[in-house]
């Protein structure tokens, strides 16, 4: 993923003259067409949602400005595509130009947004005052409000599935949930969420809680709740690295679940970075002579970082070295910086949309549990982040057998031969679904790949009761890994689309690997791992500064 050196690119950088002439001609033809439509009164509103409000179509000058902006944006994008440059450089140029274009859209400014101006007139200036108040509130809290946060509370109406914290160390807590069915499958399930976010994305409210759904499906559920480190923590967490998260995080949690349930093998599920950690921990366990997991579920997980999606624009040797100097020996990668980065991956949806509604129009965003969770980020120990950045994103070493060594043990995903359920989201911009699919080439057991609609989060959190979206899968509930095509496009062409949520498909697959059912035990923990506090626990309630 390193950018090619100058000597790797023999042609001079720039746009071929003939391409530039064609781009100019296209712009001229488009503008003449817009002017002609304006003269005869047939100029239609742009399809872009930023200009859909009635106030835009009612204002001819604003309509012309919107069309001019879109034509100019298309011309600039065409220049990037036509330029002679290495693809990594083009990716960065494409990203940078798009950021500039999105920022300078006429909808983002009061004087050039007729919808905001109409709101100002209709409210007799109140929208401007409300917008200024919203802006000052966000300045004081240090982040942009994406939802009305007053209606949510972790442990109040979020993360309320009954359970107990039965173990904790300086990196994580283990939650055991109380059963919700009279009988439960014998083999327990441990969920490993990403440490980059709070775990309760898997347990939002009862109607969209994946944890609750698993419990209602008859599974015994345990979950890792990662700690949110703060700048003044002095117990060693600020120097924690990748190996610490494997040994004292994932493997320790597996040991707790084994001890409580007296099951030598458990089922395990990893989400996003949690799946990368889980797979790495299982490879470490195998290298140590242990094989503690009977089945593996990976949700929007990267094991092969060859194509990490749009995040690739941030990754090069200089950037990684800078991060290593800043935090490789200790310190924090802050939740605020992480949140800003992820927001600007989709700026029109997660930044400028709120600039317009919150500040220009003085509106309060509606309550939305997923966006509340999105604002409740976690800090990461600097050494963990720097190691992950280099070894996964920059050098893609995790997928190479034996390339990573921990405590004298070399890791190899190829030894993971347990049945695996691998899920990707079709519109995922953080873990492209084809990159999630690439995990099937590294794992060696029987596998089922399922592709859900929507993006990184909304595709995963899609409860059956909502009746929304769809997923693609092969009709067989499980099949050997030698039957999975190497080409993800070939897999997609052979897959069938099913309406609704993929959760029941997963539950059916999981049941086949969870053993017989027996009477549920209501109490949590045991003599060694006794309850410490009720779920969601202290770690989930700590907010990043």
Domain boundary among 110, 125, 153: 110
Beta bridge partners of 380: 333
User: Domain residues for 29?
Assistant: 8-110
Cis omega before residue 536 (within 30°)?
yes
Does residue 118 belong to any structural domain of this protein? Answer: no
| Calculated CA dihedral for residues 82, 86, 90, 93, nearest 10 degrees | -110
Residue 156 lies in a domain: no
Of 110, 129, 151, which residue constitutes the final position of a domain? 110
Predicted confidence at residue 3, as pLDDT, reads 42
User: Does 282 share its domain with 194?
Assistant: yes
Say which CATH number the domain at 406 has. 3.40.50.1820
Whether residues 169 and 103 fall in one domain: no
d(CA 14, CA 170): 53
Judgement on whether residues 13 and 81 belong to the same structural domain of the protein: yes
Please state, for a pLDDT cut of 90, what percent of the chain lies above it. 87
Chain mean pLDDT for the chain: 93
Q: Cα–chain-centroid distance for residue 307?
A: 15
* pLDDT > 70 in the chain, percent: 96
Closest among 511, 471, 478, 522 to 492, alpha carbons compared: 471
Spatial contact of 154 and 536, defined as CB atoms under 8 Å apart: yes
Q: pLDDT tens, 286-320?
A: 999 999 999 999 999 999 999 998 888 889 999 99
Number of other CB atoms surrounding residue 383 within 10 Å: 22
DSSP label of 155: T
Looking at the structure, tell me whether residues 398 and 279 fall in a common domain.
yes
Q: Which residue has the tokens 């890791």?
A: 411
Indicate whether 211 pLDDT > 70.
yes
Domain boundary, last residue among 81, 110, 139: 110
- Are both 96 and 167 inside the same structural domain? no
Picking from 478, 420, 411, 448, the residue whose alpha carbon sits closest to that of residue 294 is: 420
Q: Are residues 181 and 271 in the same domain?
A: yes
pLDDT in tens, 453-493: 999 999 999 999 988 999 999 986 544 555 788 999 999 99
Phi, psi of 52, rounded to the nearest 5 degrees = -85, -20
330, 238 contact by CB (below 8 A): yes
How many domains, the chain? 2
Q: Could you read off the pLDDT of 116-146 as tens digits, one per residue?
A: 999 999 999 999 999 999 999 999 988 899 9
pLDDT value at position 411? 97
What would the pLDDT profile of 2-46 be if each residue is shown by its tens digit? 444 443 444 456 889 999 999 999 999 999 999 999 999 889 989
Instruction: Name the burial class of residue 179, with classes exposed (0-12), middle (13-18) and buried (19+) by CB atoms within 10 angstroms of its CB.
Output: buried
Would you state the structure tokens that stand for residue 508, as one six-digit string?
């059916």
Which are the contacts of 348, defined by CB distance < 8 A and separation ≥ 6? 50, 102, 105
Residue 178 lies in a domain: yes
In a domain, 116, yes or no: no
Cα distances (Å, whole numbers) of residue 297 to 159, 181, 470:
22, 22, 19
Q: Residue 459: inside a domain, yes or no?
A: yes
Distance CA 95, CA 97 (A): 6
pLDDT (tens digit, 9 = 90+) per residue, 264-275? 999 999 999 999
Q: For the segment 54-70, what is each residue's pLDDT rounded down to a tens digit? A: 999 999 999 999 999 99
Query: What's the rounded mean pLDDT across residues 507-531?
Result: 96
CA 102 to chain centre: 22
Q: Are residues 95 and 238 in the same domain?
A: no
Q: What is the pLDDT of residue 345?
A: 87
**Phi and psi dihedrals of 18, rounded to 5?**
-65, -35
Answer whether residue 241 is part of any domain.
yes
Please report whether residue 29 resides in a domain. Answer: yes
Question: pLDDT of 308-361, one tens digit each?
Answer: 988 888 899 999 999 999 999 999 999 999 988 888 888 999 999 999 999 999
Task: Judge if 70 and 201 occupy the same domain.
Answer: no
- 425 and 536 co-located in one domain: yes
Tokens 């023999």, residue located: 10
The set of catalytic residues is 272
With respect to residue 27, please indicate whether it lies within any of the assigned structural domains: yes
Helical axes 114-122 vs 126-141, angle rounded to 10°: 110
| Residue 477, pLDDT score | 52
Side-chain-side CA neighbours of 512 within 13 Å: the count stands at 16
By the 8 A CB rule, do 135 and 354 touch? no
Q: Where in 353-511 does DSSP place strands (E)?
A: 380-381, 405-406, 409-410, 420-425, 447-452, 470-473, 496-499
Are residues 179 and 255 located together in one domain of the fold?
Answer: yes
Q: Note the pLDDT of residue 4.
A: 41
How far is the CA of 194 from the CAs of 24, 229, 455, in angstroms?
Answer: 47, 14, 16
Q: 28 by DSSP, 3-state: which?
A: helix
pLDDT tens profile 372-430: 999 999 999 999 999 999 999 999 999 999 999 999 999 999 999 999 999 999 999 99
Cα Rg of the chain (Å, integer) = 25
Task: Name the H helices within 332-377.
Answer: 335-343, 347, 353-354, 369-375
What is the model's pLDDT at position 7?
39
- Mean pLDDT (whole number) for 532-539: 98
Copy the structure tokens of residue 151. 């209606």
Closest C-alpha among 63, 41, 34 to residue 50: 63
Higher local confidence (pLDDT), 85 or 255: 255
Spatial neighbors of 197 by CB under 8 A, at least 6 apart, are 272, 373, 374, 377, 378
Looking at residue 6, its pLDDT comes to 40
Residue 186 and residue 273 share a domain: yes
Same domain, 51 and 175: no
């Amino acid at each position: 993923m390193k950018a090619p050196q100058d000597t790797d690119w023999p042609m001079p950088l720039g746009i071929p003259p003939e391409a530039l002439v064609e781009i100019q001609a296209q712009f001229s033809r488009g503008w003449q067409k817009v002017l002609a439509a304006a003269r005869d009164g047939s100029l239609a509103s742009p399809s872009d949602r930023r200009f859909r409000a009635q106030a835009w179509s009612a204002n001819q000058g604003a309509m012309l400005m919107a069309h001019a902006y879109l034509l100019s944006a298309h011309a600039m994008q065409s220049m990037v595509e036509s330029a002679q440059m290495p693809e990594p450089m083009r990716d960065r140029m494409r990203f940078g130009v798009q950021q500039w274009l999105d920022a300078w859209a006429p909808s983002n400014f009061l004087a050039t947004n007729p919808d905001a101006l109409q709101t100002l007139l209709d409210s007799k200036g109140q929208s401007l005052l409300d917008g200024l108040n919203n802006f000052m509130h966000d300045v004081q809290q240090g982040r942009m409000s994406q939802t009305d946060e007053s209606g949510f509370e972790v442990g109040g109406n979020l993360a309320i599935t009954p359970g107990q914290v039965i173990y904790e160390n300086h990196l994580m807590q283990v939650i055991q949930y109380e059963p919700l069915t009279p009988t439960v499958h014998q083999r327990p399930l441990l969920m490993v969420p990403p440490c980059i976010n709070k775990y309760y994305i898997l347990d939002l409210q009862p109607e969209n809680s994946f944890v609750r759904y698993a419990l209602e499906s008859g599974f015994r559920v345990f979950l890792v709740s990662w700690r949110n480190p703060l700048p003044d923590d002095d117990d060693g967490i600020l120097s924690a690295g990748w190996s610490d998260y494997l040994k004292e995080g994932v493997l320790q949690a597996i040991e707790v679940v084994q001890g409580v349930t007296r099951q030598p093998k458990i089922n395990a599920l990893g989400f996003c970075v949690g799946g990368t950690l889980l797979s790495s921990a299982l490879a470490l366990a195998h290298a140590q002579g242990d094989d503690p997991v009977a089945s593996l579920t990976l949700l929007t997980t990267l094991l092969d970082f060859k194509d990490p999606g749009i995040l690739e624009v941030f990754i090069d040797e200089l950037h990684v070295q800078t991060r290593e100097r800043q935090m490789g020996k200790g310190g924090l990668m802050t939740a605020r910086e992480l949140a800003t980065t992820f927001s600007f991956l989709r700026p029109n949806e997660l930044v400028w949309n709120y600039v317009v509604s919150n500040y220009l129009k003085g509106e309060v965003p509606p309550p939305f549990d997923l966006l509340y969770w999105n604002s409740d980020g976690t800090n990461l120990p600097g050494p963990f982040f720097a190691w992950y950045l280099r070894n996964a994103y920059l050098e893609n070493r995790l997928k190479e057998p034996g390339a990573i060594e921990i405590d004298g043990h070399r890791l190899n995903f190829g030894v993971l031969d347990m049945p695996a359920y691998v899920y990707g989201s079709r519109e995922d911009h953080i873990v492209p679904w084809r990159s999630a699919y690439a995990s099937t080439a590294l794992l060696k057991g029987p596998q089922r790949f399922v592709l859900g609609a929507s993006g990184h989060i909304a595709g995963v959190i899609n409860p059956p009761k909502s009746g929304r979206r769809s997923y693609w899968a092969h009709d067989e509930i499980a099949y050997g890994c030698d039957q999975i095509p190497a080409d993800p496009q070939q897999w997609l062409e052979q897959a069938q689309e099913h309406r609704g949520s993929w959760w029941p498909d997963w539950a059916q697959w999981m049941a086949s690997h969870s053993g017989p059912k027996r009477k549920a035990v209501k109490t949590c923990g045991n003599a060694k791992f006794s309850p410490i506090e009720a779920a969601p626990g202290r770690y989930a309630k700590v907010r990043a500064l």
